[in-house]
Amino acid sequence: MSTPDLGISALGNDRLDRLTDYPFTRLATLLSDVRPRANVEPIMMSVGEPQHKPPAIIDETLRANAHLWGKYPPVGGTPEFRAAVGDWLTRRYSLTAGLFDAETSVLPVSGTREALFLLALLAVPQSKAGRQPAVLMPNPFYAPYEGAAQLAGAEPVFLSATRETGFLPDLDTLTPELLERTALFYLCTPANPQGAAADAAYLARAIGLARRYGFILAVDECYAEIYLDTPPVGALQVAQSLDHGGPNNSKGPWANLLVFHSLSKRSSAAGLRSGFVAGDPDLMARFSRLRSYSNAGMPLPVVAASTALWRDEAHVEENRALYRAKFEAAEASLKGRFGYYRPDGGFFLWLDVGDGEEATRRLWAEGAIRVLPGAYLARNNPGEPNPGASFIRVALVNDTETVAQACAAIARILA
Ligand SMILES: Cc1ncc(COP(=O)(O)O)c(C=O)c1O
């Protein structure tokens, strides 16, 4: 007996159908019929998962706090966690002593991915300026931004971030019509995948727009601690120096602003699922209310381990030194080719290889090197090319020797 066609498509929320498969699922499909040469050990450079040994602090603190596994975690973590984050932000971004109130401006998150996603539910109203709300994001972008915008019922607006725009969205292209209906702007600095860091003037402008047009500026700073020479400037750092007095901006220095930080890259601890969101205390109070309905909370032993990690800089410096060595190794074979440049932050190479998908297939077939086509991290706006199409993203997460060997192979295979 055939099922009658009632005109109903998939069961459930059809907004999910507006999303493509996740980038790594698309990669698996692209490579499903490609077999790497026999006897070659695969080198995985597609996922941004640091391979350095996680710091011993994690094990030690988890063990010392094992008696807390039985407890439901509070949404806000512990006072010790909030204080460690507040002290870290104050040190890292030279915030005026006492300006940042960690008690009202910090929430732990089980990986920033979930918080970046949930944020859209906090940010997107039914309508804004009488129209469908817009969520702005760079293009290319971290995939959950788009998922969040779609699932929250907003229109995702993809802002080209190409070599011509300094690999960041060009704020001059944003029209008042768009800004008026913008509910949320995801900005990633240093950017994944291009590694460009916004400077203070850029961030000041973005914060100014958020305040003028009444939207949330979410600054994803999860690569802020992986830099080669100069620490990238942060959004809180810039916000503290802006004029926040006056009738329209009486909400304090962090008004309209949220920043996201993670231990996944800083502490090579992607499996710990630990990060935080910080910023505008009014937004944080609303986020806390939303999270108490929706989130499991960060287990207290993990909160304790995270507290210890935010208080320790030695392992982060060691980490940076390892990445520096890897960039030098990469540079030995890739400098002057495929538009190679040293990113301001992060650990990705963003190489212009002509056809990213084709290069990805060749690298897998001929070198057992797995990279990600740039097209899978971007969308094409109508009438425009996909800004990632000619690129591959290469994650320098393996040990230096493997990175050196892989980059030499990339140069040879794609020559
Ligand atoms: C730009 C960006 N933001 C956020 C995340 C999420 O990191 P996590 O959920 O591990 O904190 C990632 C992870 O790759 C990322 O690349």
Task: Write down the domain spans for the chain.
Answer: 19-48+315-414, 56-312
- For a pLDDT cut of 90, what percent of the chain falls above it? 93
d(CA 309, CA 61): 10
Six-digit token string for 254? 């962090």
- Alpha-helical runs (H) found in 223-299: 235-240, 263-266, 281-294
Most distant CA pair in the chain, distance? 73
**Ligand 1 contacts CB of residue 266 (under 6 A):** no
Task: Write out the H or E segment, with its range, that includes residue 120.
Answer: helix 112-123
pLDDT (0 to 100) of residue 31: 97
Q: Which atom of ligand 1 is the closest one to the Cα of 142?
A: 1
Distance, CA 113 to ligand 1 centroid (Å)?
6
Query: pLDDT tens-digit profile of 127-154?
Result: 999 999 999 999 999 999 999 999 999 9
Distance, CA 245 to ligand 1 centroid (Å)?
34
- Ligand 1 pocket mutation, candidates 117, 265, 310, 372, criterion most atoms within 8 A of CB: 265
- Ligand 1 pocket mutation, candidates 49, 85, 222, 350, criterion most atoms within 8 A of CB: 222
Order of strands, edge to edge, in the sheet holding 391-395?
348-352, 391-395, 372-373
- Ligand 1 pocket mutation, candidates 192, 221, 261, 267, criterion most atoms within 8 A of CB: 192
**What global pTM score does this model have?**
0.95
Say if residue 10's pLDDT is above 80.
no
Q: Which of 6-10, 316-320, 358-362 has the lowest mean pLDDT?
A: 6-10
Say if residue 248's pLDDT is above 80.
no
Query: pLDDT tens-digit profile of 341-381?
Result: 999 999 999 999 999 999 999 999 999 999 999 999 999 99
d(CA 174, CA 159): 9
Task: Write out the H or E segment, with its range, that includes residue 143.
Answer: helix 143-151
pLDDT (0 to 100) of residue 8: 56
Q: Which atom of ligand 1 is the closest one to the Cα of 192?
A: 1
3-state secondary structure of 146: helix
Mean pLDDT of 249-275: 93
Distance, CA 7 to ligand 1 centroid (Å)?
38
**Ligand 1 contacts CB of residue 182 (under 6 A):** no
**Ligand 1 contacts CB of residue 46 (under 6 A):** no
**Ligand 1 contacts CB of residue 112 (under 6 A):** yes
pLDDT (0 to 100) of residue 360: 98
Six-digit token string for 382? 């109508």
Identify the DSSP state of 145: H
Mean pLDDT of 322-329: 96
Query: pLDDT tens-digit profile of 17-42?
Result: 999 999 999 999 999 999 998 788 99
The CATH superfamily label for domain 19-48+315-414 reads Aspartate Aminotransferase, domain 1 (3.90.1150.10)
User: 50: left (phi > 0), else alpha (psi -120 to 50), else beta?
Assistant: beta
pLDDT (0 to 100) of residue 244: 64
> Ligand 1, atom 6: nearest CA belongs to which residue?
113
Going by CATH, does the domain composed of 56-312 fall within 3.40.228.10?
no
Query: pLDDT tens-digit profile of 107-124?
Result: 999 999 999 999 999 999
d(CA 274, CA 259): 14
Mean pLDDT of 202-230: 97
pLDDT (0 to 100) of residue 246: 46
pLDDT (0 to 100) of residue 354: 97
